[in-house]
A and B are shown apart, each in its own frame.
Chain A
Amino acid sequence: MNLPETILIIDDEVQIRRLLEITLSSNGYKISEAATGKDGLIAAATNHPVLVILDLGLPDIDGIEILKKLREWYLKPIIILSVRNSEEDIIHALDNGANDYLTKPFRTGELLARIRVASRQVQNISDKPILEFGSLSIDLTNHIVRKNSELLKLTSTEFSLLSLLAKNEGRVLTHQYILKEVWGMGYIEQTQYLRVFIAQLRKKVEDDPARPKLLNTESGIGYRFGS
């Protein structure tokens, strides 16, 4: 039997902390709380949380600064939970090492799902050679993709894109990140490539390309695979 894992909540609103505490503890997590950025940094160092839920609007230090400080040594997932909902803010947080971003108000079901995805990524780091999503299977070592056991013909760029997204299942990847990983540093402004390849991939891997289930758009931010 595993010991309950600790999740650290850094948020100055008592009501939000209370809500998270109820939700998360009823789902088997142990909770550690901090109302300020300073306390949050101490708690992260002393309580060994498996995941941090961080608010950006803290009274003492700006959330992005906390994020940067945490990321200097903390390797486990950090999920941002904030009322800031502009695309710039979200991209900025993701670029600075946040694993995921949820805007308030949020659905607790959604939050739990994101927590699960984020924790799974940490475990999955020891690459499985074949990823399976329903009728889709991706063989990462042999570069083979099958749908309903049928072999799909993908170009090498399509494969790189699909495998990048699939390996980060459930996680938002920003446009810039994807472009950098698949095409290279020089291409981070060329979002049109991404649009074209995503549209092509959807036609090949989705059951209904008009209602994608695997390659999901995050408006103005990037893409998220599955879930």
Chain B
Amino acid sequence: MDIIDNRPDPDELLASLKFEEERSKRGKLKIFFGMCAGVGKTYTMLQTAQAEKLKGNDIVIGYVETHNRKETAELAEGFELIPRKTYQYKSTTVQEMDLDAIIARKPRVVLVDELAHSNSPGSRHTKRCQDVLEILDNGISVYTTLNVQHLESRSDTVSQITGIIVRETLPDEIFENADEIEVIDLTPDELLQRLSDGKVYTPERSKEAIGSFFRKGNITALREMALRIVADRVDKQLHEYMQLKRIKGPWKSGLHLLVAVSHTQQSAKLLRWAKNLSYTMGADLQAVYVETSYKLTPKESEQLNKNINLSRQLGIKFRFVTNNDMVKAIVDFAQKENITHIIIGKPRVRNLLTLLRLGNFVNRLIRYSGNIDVYILGSDIKSTDKFKEKVSLPSFTSNIRQYFAATLIVVITALACFSIKEFIGYQVVSFALLFVVSTLAFFFGTGPILVSATLSALIWDFFFIPPPYTLHVDKPEDMLMLIMFFIIALLSGVLTSRIKRQEMKIRRREERTNALYQLTRELSTASGFEEVINIAKNDIKKYFDLRCRILLRNDTNQLDCPNQIDSGIILSKNDVSVAAWTFQHSAKAGKHTDTLPSSKYTFYPLKGNQMNLGVIAIQQTNVFTLGEEQFWDAFISQISGKFEREYLRDMAKQAFLLNESDKLYKTLFNSISHELRIPVATIMGASDSLLTSLHPEEIRKELSQEIFKASKRLNRLIDNLLNMSRLESGRITPRLDWCDIHDLINKVSENLQDELKPFRLHVVIPDDMPLVKIDFGLIEQVLYNLIYNATQYASISINLRVKAFYENGIMTLQVMDRGPGFPGKEISFIFNKFYRVEGSKAGGTGLGLSIAKGFVEAHEGTITVRNRQNGGAIFTIKIPTEILHIDF
């Protein structure tokens, strides 16, 4: 016995728990489910609601159809009614449920009749069930009603039983995921009784109904179907429950079904059937489509899209594989996915070509599938095939010009051969014609090739093979040659055009891969949203020939739409709300979709791994084909990924800046508050003393001087802080102007004359020093800070030296002192903000040098420091600058 089988699969458990969790935030969906109209679903729903209302629950009616039934109408009266919304459709007005009003009203439960109803054009969603899902998403619970015939997977069977085509269908997934299902059951006799009592329809309609739809046989079949579905559901729930609670018992079947789908209408039926089977077997199901070199007609690709959509509605995962050998593709896929059962439809052979293509499909599949079971569903498509397909060979769709050209070339060749028939004999002619037909196959489709092959065979026979001018052939070897000629011409033509098609497909795929590669490459070097948007727009224009518009999210997780017109796409108010819907629900909407199809544009969400980045709007005239859609998805997922990286990078940067500024703020507080207090204390103390005591003149003067000195210190601090903040905000742009270095150094020494009094300042400037183009004020400040620093620390020697020179486009300024220099390990930090050398004397904020550095760097220059050999430090500033030589 296999032990593993007794354990719940952890992945499934997790998924199950996650599902539960998500569900608890959403509203609950309760479906009142019946076999057909008239069983009292609406009535029961209202009754249940009534009881809930008595318990104090907030319940409103979103949409209830009473069909003028008296009891039902009476029951409905007790509820608040959300007014319906009126839509003008052509000349009639239609009333629909007002979705937005319900969401805005936010009741606890809303009653919505007829879940499978299709909305009238102009509504947000094409189907009411989509409205309901949105209501549930908003945390509002929904009571609704449904008949069994409206279930997507049953609609075929219902049509078969009753002969009525069901137009309004509900995706099975919604039904399966409903929180609660209540069956409203009546025996067929009771129902018929109610009908004849006129409780369902007016008397005339009742009579009509009993005669057609409400036949006892029909009702019984529908009833069985409804009860069966609910029983299956209970079964499944029990399984899930056991799994969740780790109850030992028969686990999920462990069956995996695969349904192979084609581009035919038959496949739609196959999908529904497979869904039913998987449901009853408790197996999971996926669908696979094998893409071969066969070129789909527009009609076929439309049907394929329909099949894909259907499988999505049925909740079946749809996969594509590409392989010319369908059997091998299906079997490989099945083995990879651990499939236990493969379901296929019985192939319908319509003509020679399909026979050639499909080969011995069924037999081969059975042979290669090994231990995988194969179900084959019979084809009885005709019974439901309302839109009978026109039998058309796809490759005959080549345009008329090709047929004409092919015929012409064959005729010309024949004429040429005819003129030299005497010299070459009739047999060689066949080779010439064969050569022409094979060559034509490189350029033309299968249709023209078939025509030219047939034509050349006829021409050869009629004009060349003796006896000439008859179709009759004398010699048996000629007959044999004629037959062989025809077959070879046909085969080589068909094969060549097939190779050509395949080549085209490969080329197209290569182009796409290439396009994706190009996009990735361009995106990888791009930075900033603006640039990414431009690249995206250009590439979409280039590879899809579509104009697009990209809307991005803002920081508050809303979609940003700064202006209505951009890149030729004008978004109306309505379009903007479609975009917002797309963004919120991360599903495509707009033109060619089920949601808000009235918009002029199609909106695709830009989904990242962790968040939605925005929406892309495109204006398409044609719906994407299957391959295009895949290509498009890959394309925009690249773009979304890039946007997400950009966004995350921005966020990281912001966080970093925030962190940095936080650090700066703290240091600022610690260091500045101290630096501020000292001079303020001096000023307060000295002025207080002046105010309160009668000092002799001399003392008063000294106190005043202290106040003055303290104010100067305060002022210097404020200047430094202001300069620092200018640097921090990046607002420093040097105003470059011609400057005489003598003048600059004079100015600094003049401003520092008090501090420089105990020192001897040596200024060394060569005679031929040119004028340099720098910002006088900024560099003055730099020199001021450096020399001021030197005066504060270089107390050992009285010699200070400032040197300036110019060499190879670079001006150098040096400030040298003979002070203590800097401790070796700290020398690399001294330009950092607020950095103060350990044990340095009181006063100073550690800003001066970092300001100096900032100002020099604003000139694209460098500032360095090193200790001098015999003590002291030397600061070197190097600034690249224009110069002007002057002669004195």
Contact = CB atoms under 8 A, between A and B. Distances in A.
Interface of A: 87, 105, 175, 191-192, 195-196, 198-200, 203, 209-212, 217, 219-220
Contacts of A191: 737-738
Given A192-B771, A195-B740, A210-B763, A87 B735 contact: yes
Interface in B670-726: 711, 715
A196 B771 contact: yes
B71 interface: no
Contact of A199 (B747, B775, B886): B886
A210 B742 contact: yes
Contact of A203 (B739, B747, B777, B888): B888
Interface in B736-793: 737-740, 742-743, 746-747, 749-750, 763, 771, 775-777, 780
A39 B739 CA distance: 43
Given A219-B776, A219-B780, A220-B777, A198 B735 contact: no
A198 B777 contact: no
Contacts of B780: 219
Given A211-B746, A217-B746, A219-B777, A199 B739 contact: no
A209 B749 CA distance: 14
A198 B740 contact: yes
A120 B747 CA distance: 26
B3 interface: no
B737 A199 contact: no
A209 B888 CA distance: 13
21 contacts: A105-B711, A192-B771, A192-B886, A195-B738, A195-B739, A195-B740, A196-B886, A198-B743, A199-B886, A209-B742, A210-B742, A210-B746, A211-B749, A217-B746, A219-B776, A219-B777, A219-B780, A220-B735, A220-B737, A220-B776, A220-B777
B777 A212 contact: no
Interface of B: 711, 715, 735, 737-740, 742-743, 746-747, 749-750, 763, 771, 775-777, 780, 884, 886, 888
Contacts of A210: 742, 746, 763
Contacts of B747: 217, 219
B791 to A, nearest CB: 18
A120 B746 CA distance: 28
Contacts of A198: 740, 743
Overall SS of chain A's interface? helix
Nearest to B708: A107
Contacts of B888: 199-200, 203
Given A220-B775, A220-B776, 12 more contacts: A105-B715, A192-B738, A192-B886, A195-B738, A195-B743, A195-B886, A200-B888, A210-B746, A211-B750, A212-B746, A217-B743, A220-B735
Contact of B742 (A87, A105, A199, A219): A199
A99 to B, nearest CB: 22
A199 B776 contact: no
Contacts of A192: 738, 771, 884, 886
B206 to A, nearest CB: 87
B715 A199 contact: no
A14 to B, nearest CB: 18
Given A105-B715, A203-B888, A210-B746, A195 B775 contact: no
A174 to B, nearest CB: 12
Contacts of A203: 888
B184 to A, nearest CB: 78
Contacts of B743: 195, 198-199, 217
A175 B775 CA distance: 14
Contacts of B777: 87, 219-220
Nearest to A175: B737
Contacts of B776: 219-220
A211 B749 CA distance: 9
B870 to A, nearest CB: 27
A195 B738 CA distance: 7
